[in-house]
């Protein structure tokens, strides 16, 4: 008897495709004989946009890569440019980048686990974890004035110091996050329906995972403890105490468990950073706060002797970017970073420095050279390879998106499973279309 197969399209418009992705499945009944993955529906030309923008203007584009954990993208790009320029970010600025990155990582994992659980029918878990993510988005908004398109880092540091009460907010939010995670574990970890859907499904061996170049929670689920934060430490990760959770089976269940465990490790990292955060100039005595217009009027009238005793009032997104903060969070290099707002508002030199930094063909000049820097993104090793020709913008930018390598292995993961397994396996990939297509 001749076996017949037929083809089924999943996507690009499909609620379980997490964006726009097309799977072409060859089926024998409900069993998948062959799978083909088609990407490119969301290609935004990130690399070419980056090559036509000044160094700091690339940062909003990095937000749109993995838009679930954009703060990690910001840090990865800035670290690469700073490696070429030989800039050493102040210690406090490095701690702030770690805090921001780990908050973003927790939001990423909550989204992945919650969305995958919802697609498998566990809607209550989705509601728990999305409430936790909402608390983190409010924390991120408090930090940088935006929830998703954060644009927090700058070449040379970060755009602002921690706002008042940030540590206290973390102290209020983290116990709630832990409670949401514990409730989700209680609903899923011994749930027979959930276990039947994920245990032993979407399995990959450590040898295959390494051969495909897979990193992140997907690789660690196979038992390989590779984490960029430990293997190639950057910022201040080598000073922090945290574990690298690993699995053993390399299936959908292990990937779920690894991400759950990583949430706790990220919260531990943030708590350590807040305890050991180096004191910065922000702890100086408070100055009289004046509006920008008042600053400008004082300068015009020649009252410059009063200016050092005043602090400029800034908008929400520039909070923490004043003179008393910058020496702790930004490289003190006028040719590479924007001046404090007090100098912009109160002196012609600061105003000229600001204009030269933001005007096209005048901005920061990064010495000719090239560098690659990797960071541990939500999905694995997120790398940037940047080439400078000495001008005010990158000559070439190349991004290594971690989920691209997992997607290349997806046909192998799906072969031999059933149509219903596609949702569980694809959800464990945590494919973010903006990162995949760039």
Tens digit of pLDDT per residue, the chain (438 long)? 567 889 989 878 887 777 788 999 999 989 999 999 998 888 888 999 999 988 888 999 998 898 899 999 999 999 999 999 888 888 998 999 999 999 999 999 999 999 999 999 899 999 999 999 999 999 999 988 888 888 888 888 888 888 888 999 999 999 999 999 999 999 999 999 999 999 999 899 999 999 999 999 999 999 999 999 999 999 999 999 999 999 999 999 999 999 999 999 999 999 999 999 887 643 334 456 777 677 777 777 777 666 666 666 666 666 666 666 676 777 777 777 777 777 777 777 777 887 777 776 777 788 999 999 999 999 999 999 999 998 889 999 999 999 999 999 999 999 989 999 999 999 899 888 888 888
Which residue is associated with the tokens 């292990």?
254
pTM of the model: 0.89
Whole-number pLDDT of residue 280? 63
Beta strand 6-10 pairing with 22-28? antiparallel
Cα(2)–Cα(120) distance, integer angstroms:
34
Cα angle vertex 280, ends 277, 285, to 5°?
Answer: 130
Write out 181-205 in H/E/C secondary structure.
HHHHHHHHCCCHHHHHHHCCCCCCC
- pLDDT score at 3: 73
| Alpha-carbon distance values, 340 to 134, 201, 332 (Å) | 32, 54, 10
Spatial distance between the Cα atoms of 228 and 381, rounded to a whole number of angstroms: 7
193 contacts: CB under 8 Å, gap ≥ 6: 121
Give the model's pLDDT for residue 283: 33
> How high is the pLDDT of residue 340?
78
Q: Kindly tell me the burial class for residue 354, based on how many C-beta atoms sit within 10 Å of its own C-beta (0-12, 13-18, 19 or more).
A: middle
Q: What is the pLDDT of residue 319?
A: 67
**Calpha distance 245→260 (Å, rounded):** 9
Q: Cβ contacts of residue 249 below 8 Å, gap of 6+?
A: 200, 203, 221, 222
Task: Measure the CA–CA gap between 265 and 109, rounded to whole angstroms.
Answer: 12
Instruction: State residue 161's pLDDT score.
Output: 86
- Would you give the DSSP letter of residue 380? S
Sequence-distant (≥ 6) Cβ neighbours of residue 189 within 8 angstroms = none
Which CATH topology does 58-155+163-276 take?
Cytochrome-c3 Hydrogenase; chain B (1.10.645)
Nearest Cα residue to 380 out of 414, 409, 405: 405
Eight-state DSSP code of residue 149:
S
Residue among 416, 417, 408, 412 at smallest CA distance from 21: 408
Domain boundaries, the chain: 58-155+163-276, 281-358
């Amino acid at each position: 008897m001749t076996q017949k197969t037929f083809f089924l399209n999943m996507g690009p418009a499909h609620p379980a495709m997490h964006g726009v992705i097309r799977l072409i499945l060859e089926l024998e009944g409900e069993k998948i004989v062959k799978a083909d993955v088609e990407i490119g529906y969301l290609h935004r030309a990130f690399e070419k946009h980056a090559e036509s923008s000044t160094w700091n203007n690339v940062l909003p584009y990095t937000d749109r890569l993995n838009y679930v954990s954009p703060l990690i993208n910001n840090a990865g790009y800035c670290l690469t440019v700073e490696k070429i320029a030989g800039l050493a970010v102040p210690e406090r600025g490095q701690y702030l980048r770690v805090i921001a990155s780990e908050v973003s990582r927790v939001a990423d994992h909550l989204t992945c686990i919650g969305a995958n659980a919802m697609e498998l029918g566990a809607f209550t878990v989705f509601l728990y974890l999305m409430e936790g993510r909402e608390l983190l988005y409010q924390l991120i908004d408090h930090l940088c004035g935006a929830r998703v398109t954060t644009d927090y880092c700058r070449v040379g540091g970060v755009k602002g110091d921690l706002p008042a009460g940030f540590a206290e907010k973390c102290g209020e939010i983290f116990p709630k996050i832990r409670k949401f995670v514990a409730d989700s574990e209680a609903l899923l970890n011994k749930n027979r329906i959930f276990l039947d859907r994920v245990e032993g499904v979407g399995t990959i061996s450590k040898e295959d995972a390494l051969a495909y170049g897979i990193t992140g929670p997907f690789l660690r689920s196979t038992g390989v403890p590779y984490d960029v934060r430990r293997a190639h430490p950057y910022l201040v990760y080598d000073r922090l105490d945290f574990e690298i959770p690993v699995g053993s089976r390399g299936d959908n269940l292990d990937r779920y468990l690894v991400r759950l465990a990583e949430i706790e490790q990220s919260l531990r990292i943030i708590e350590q950073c807040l305890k050991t955060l180096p004191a910065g100039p922000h702890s100086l005595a408070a100055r009289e706060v004046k509006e920008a217009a008042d600053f400008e009027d004082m300068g015009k009238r020649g009252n410059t002797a009063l200016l050092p005793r005043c602090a400029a009032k800034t908008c929400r997104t520039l909070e923490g970017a004043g003179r008393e903060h910058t020496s702790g969070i930004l490289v003190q290099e006028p040719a590479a970073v924007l001046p404090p707002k007090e100098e912009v508002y109160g002196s012609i030199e600061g105003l000229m420095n600001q204009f030269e930094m933001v005007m096209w063909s005048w901005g920061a000049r990064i010495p000719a050279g090239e560098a690659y820097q990797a960071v541990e993104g939500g999905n694995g090793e997120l790398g940037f390879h940047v080439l400078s020709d000495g001008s005010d913008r990158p000559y070439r930018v190349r991004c290594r998106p971690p989920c691209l390598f997992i997607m290349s292995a997806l046909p192998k993961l799906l072969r031999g499973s059933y149509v219903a397994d596609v949702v569980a396996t694809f959800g464990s990939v945590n494919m973010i279309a903006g990162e995949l297509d760039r």
